[in-house]
Amino acid sequence: MSDKCVTPLPIPAHAGIGLRAEHYHEVIDTLPATAWLEVHSENYFGAGGAPLVYLEKARQHYPISLHGVGLSLGSSDELNLRHLQKLKALIERIEPGLVSEHLSWSSVDGRYLNDLLPLPYTEEALLHFTQRVQQAQEFLGRELLIENPSTYLQYTHSTIPEWEFLTEVANRCGCGILFDVNNLHVNATNHRFDALAYLHALPARKIREIHLAGFTVNRYTDGEILIDTHNARVADEVWALYRQAIEKFGAIPSLIEWDADLPPLPVLLDEARKADEILENAHAVIA
Partner 1 sequence: MPSLRELQRAFSAGVFNELPAELAQHIRAGRFPGPQHFQIYRNNVCESLTNALKAVYPVVERLVGDGFFRYAADTFMRTHPLSSGNLHDFGDGFAEFLESFPPSQELVYLPDVARLEWAWHRSYHAADRAPLALKALAAIAPAQYADLKFMLHPSVQLVTSDYPVLRIWEVNQSAYAGDQSIDLGLGGVKLLVIRRQQVQIESLNEADYALLSACAAGATLAQAAEAALRIQSDYNLILALHRHASSGVFSDFSC
Partner 2 sequence: MSTKPRSVLLSTVIGGLLTLVTQSAQTAGVVQCAEQERCYGVAKAGKNDCATVSSVCSGTAKQDSQKDAWMYVPKGTCMKIAGGSVTPPAAPAKSKN
How many whole angstroms from its chain centre is CA 277?
Answer: 21
Pick the binder of partner 1 from 225, 240, 267, 269 (CB under 8 A): 225
When asked if residue 108 is in the footprint of partner 2 (CB under 8 A), the reply is no
**181/207 Cα distance (integer angstroms):** 12
Total chain residues near partner 2 (CB under 8 A): 36
**211/235 Cα distance (integer angstroms):** 13
Residues 6 or more apart in contact with residue 58 via CB below 8 angstroms: 19, 24, 27, 28, 37, 64
Report DSSP state, residue 222: T
Sign of CA dihedral 180, 182, 185, 190: negative
User: At its nearest, how many Å lie between partner 1 and the CB of residue 207?
Assistant: 26
When asked if residue 183 is in the footprint of partner 1 (CB under 8 A), the reply is no
When asked if residue 136 is in the footprint of partner 1 (CB under 8 A), the reply is no
User: At its nearest, how many Å lie between partner 2 and the CB of residue 24?
Assistant: 5
Using CB under 8 A, which of the segments 157-165, 202-210, 227-235, 272-280 binds partner 2?
Answer: 227-235
User: At its nearest, how many Å lie between partner 1 and the CB of residue 190?
Assistant: 6
Total chain residues near partner 1 (CB under 8 A): 53
**167/159 Cα distance (integer angstroms):** 15
Pick the binder of partner 2 from 8, 260, 264, 277 (CB under 8 A): 260
When asked if residue 241 is in the footprint of partner 2 (CB under 8 A), the reply is no
**Helix segments in 192-264, DSSP class H:** 195-201, 236-249
- Closest among 68, 59, 46 to 7, alpha carbons compared: 59
- Other Cβ atoms within 10 Å of 147 Cβ, number: 24
Closer residue to partner 1 in complex, CB, 26/224: 224
When asked if residue 34 is in the footprint of partner 2 (CB under 8 A), the reply is no
Site for partner 1 in 31-90 (CB under 8 A): 42-43, 45-52, 69-72, 75-76, 80, 82-83, 86
Exposure letters 8-29 (e unless 16+ CB within 10 A, then b): ebebebbbbbbbbeebbeebee
When asked if residue 259 is in the footprint of partner 2 (CB under 8 A), the reply is yes
> Which residues contact partner 2 (rule: CB under 8 A)?
20-22, 24-25, 28, 39-44, 50-51, 53-54, 57, 67, 69-70, 102, 114-116, 150, 152, 216, 218, 227-231, 257, 259-260
